[in-house]
Structure 1
Amino acid sequence: MSLIPLPSFADLPLRIGDPPNSAWGLWTEHGFDDQLGALNYLTDDLAKKTIQEEVKTGKRVGLNLALDFINPPLLGRVGFSKQIIRKDPRVINDDVITFNTQGSSQWDSFRHFAYQKQAKFYNGVTQEHIHGDEAANSVNGIGAWAPRCIAGRAVLIDYASFAQKNGIEYDALGRHGIPLTDILTIAKESNISFHPGDIFMLRTGFVAAYKAAPKEKKQELADKKPPQFCGLGQSKETIMWLWERQFAAVAADAPAFECSPALDPEWHLHPILLAGWGTPIGELFDLEELSKTCKELGRWSFFVSSAPLNYAGAVASPPNAIAFF
């Protein structure tokens, strides 16, 4: 059962003049915190229920890539650096690290990607809000999520294993759109049911392929313009399905979650999910051990906790995510 009355997809946008397919004001209309967007689904009661139903063995799987796993960095970002500092004359060490918060496993906040034509982020926030005289304004930042963290039921759609099993050939390090029909087939074969407030996770095989790639291939990926990534394929049917499922968040092991460049730019997922609905997008999650564990246990749902960085106005953050079985 949905936490709020869900408008039909045909009713989007909810207000005249708002960007296409947006749902601005939906949560405040029902008395919830709009800074949380779809994370409002993750109530205390839902977390308690999920722990009781999903945590049976105590087995834990980390979902975080090393901060320096992607090297050289993609999309022109600053790479990871580390400095270990000797605190002489005492025998003590400190360390200082610098990194782009989107250089490895990450959550995208609602201030990351706007509707490009309208130049507006979630609920109408503009670049002027974020960069102008109101620079201290933390609206749409991950700092709003941090006090309660992210905790709820997650489901894994293991497309990489499905493709291997069914002889589907594709380049996990290139442009490949995963069709909704395959997502639904995998869910049916794995007896996966979706609930409002689930965290949807998609294994494309990118992490495994990147780990096995030679340095020359990794450099080629970093230099490629426009960048090309595998991920969920864009279509009206896919967007409608995502809306009707009402996921609290979505995530994948690929750099963009969705196929890039988009198969159909009209249904580009980033502006609709982040700027339109307030649905967090996770990217470059490490789903390799998770896939193995799901196969061993014969189950594809689990409890996930995530504690993003806590500072005002964060655009993105490492997820610090753990799956519990």
Structure 2
Amino acid sequence: MNYSKIPEFGELPLKESDPPLSAWGLWKNPALGSLNHLHEIKTLEAAKSEIKTGDRVTLNLPLDAIDPGLLGRQIFQQKVIDKSPSIVNDDIITFNTQGSSQWDGFRHFAYQKEGYFYNGVTQQDIHGKDQPDMNSISAWAKHAIAGRAFLIDYFDWALETGKSYDPLASSPISLSDVQKIIQEKEIRPQEGDILIIRTGKSYGNDYIGVIGLTSSSGYIAAYQQADAATRGSLSSKFEFPGLAQSQETCEWLWKCQYAAVAADSPAFECTPPLDFKWALHPILLAGWGTPIGELFDLESLAKTCKRLKRWTFFFVSIPLNYTGAVASPPNAMAIF
């Protein structure tokens, strides 16, 4: 760090001329942002404390899981090449890096009013030729993301407590509910953890009959079980479940100093935001340099956590490594 300790939330922005709540200049390696927390000692400690049984769970949806693409994004396409006369095949794939499970990188979302990405990078910087890898995810790929993570299984908790809400609409998850789960599951968050939230909502019996939801259904299960017309309408619908925006939420996230955050919903935070002033994409990505994971496959993870009665685990992710990457499939795995 360029500071002797993490500044208090009330000290943000670190420079008066910078955008609201920004923490530019905090890290000696700005390309990693809050992933600087995951240094060698932290990773070694996490591996020693969390890897006990050897259970492994991957957290990646198939690249072709979402069709049609959400928000008008291009869907996955594959072409299998017959290399005759040799009996050999190649294949060529094309896809939007945000079309399935994904990390949002620091090039993805800027402070909209000010027009700045993390550490003051502009659209002109990104689309220019002088620094083609500025704010790119390639730095994460070379470093790898490896450390302690924990699951907040909000969907399972909501079923147990009788909450009813819609997995295919804007459904805010309050900070108070998240904190209740942390307390009930006896999770003890640590600086540098990766926060993972399983979203999704339970329906009344009428809706369950329409799209076949079960007690284990979240956003993706609901989406995939919907009919073609419903999925078509969802592809352009900007309404997703996720963490509710508020000053208290931002203060808590900053105090906890997570290395990264992720969820199984398309935006991690609920959309549209409850309060645009506290929208998490510009604050986390452009302000703090905190990666946001979206559309992670958390069904098997939730089952494993419940079976082992453990909600913390060792987490590994190696994003795609190419110059100028905006986003990437996570290539993520939990190890117990």
| TM bin (shorter chain) | over 0.9
Rounded to whole Å, the distance in 1 between the matches of 2:244 and 2:4 is: 28
Other structure's SS at 2:71 match: coil
Q: Aligned pair 1:198/2:193, yes or no?
A: yes
Question: Is 2:79 aligned against 1:79?
Answer: no
Check conservation: 1:110, 1:315, Cα contact below 8 A: yes
Paired residue for 1:149? 144
Gapped regions of structure 1 (runs ≥ 5) = none
* SS of match in other structure, 1:147: helix
Aligned to 2:202: none
State whether structure 2 residue 25 is matched by structure 1 residue 25.
Answer: yes
TM (normalized to structure 1)?
0.95
- SS of the equivalent of 2:253 reads helix
Q: Tell me, in whole angstroms, the C-alpha distance in 1 between the residues paired with 2:222 and 2:236.
A: 17
Alignment deviations for residues 128-158 of structure 1 (CA, whole Å, 9 cap, x no partner) = 0011343x52111001111121000000000
CA distance in 1, matches of 2:143, 2:235: 35
Query: Following the alignment from structure 2 to structure 1, what is the Cα–Cα distance between the partners of residues 115 and 101?
Result: 26
Q: Identify the residue that residue 60 of structure 1 maps to in structure 2.
A: 56
Contact 1:208 1:288 in 2 (8 A): no
The alpha-carbon deviation at position 26 of structure 1 amounts to: 0.7
Do the aligned residues in 2 keep the contact of 1:146 with 1:308 (CA within 8 Å)? yes
For 1:37-186, list aligned pairs within 5 A: 37-134=33-130, 136-186=131-181
Structure 2: tracts of 5 or more residues without a match: 200-217
1:230-261 CA-to-partner distances (Å, cap 9, x unmatched) read 10000000000000000000000000000000
**Aligned-partner residue type, residue 39 of structure 2:** T
Please give the alpha-carbon distance, in whole angstroms, between the structure 1 residues aligned to 2:164 and 2:226.
17
Deviation string 1:26-50 (CA, Å, 9 cap, x unpaired) is 11xxxx2111000000011111111
TM-score (norm 2): 0.92
Q: Which of 288, 296, 302 in structure 2 is aligned with 1:285?
A: 296
> 1:207, 1:288 within 8 Å by CA — same for their partners in 2?
no
Choose from 249, 253, 260 the match for 1:249.
260
CA RMSD, 1 decimal: 1.1
Shift of 1:211: 2.9
Task: Give the aligned residue type for 2:26.
Answer: L
Secondary structure, counterpart of 2:93 in structure 1: strand
Does structure 2 retain, via aligned residues, the 8 Å contact 1:9–1:243?
Answer: yes
Counterpart CA distance in 2 for 1:284 and 1:236 is 25
Q: Please state how far the C-alpha of 1:208 moved relative to its aligned partner.
A: 2.6
Aligned to 2:240: 229
- Out of 299, 320, 324, the residue aligned to residue 313 of structure 1 is 324
Give, as a single letter, the amino acid of the residue that structure 2 aligns with 1:20. Answer: P
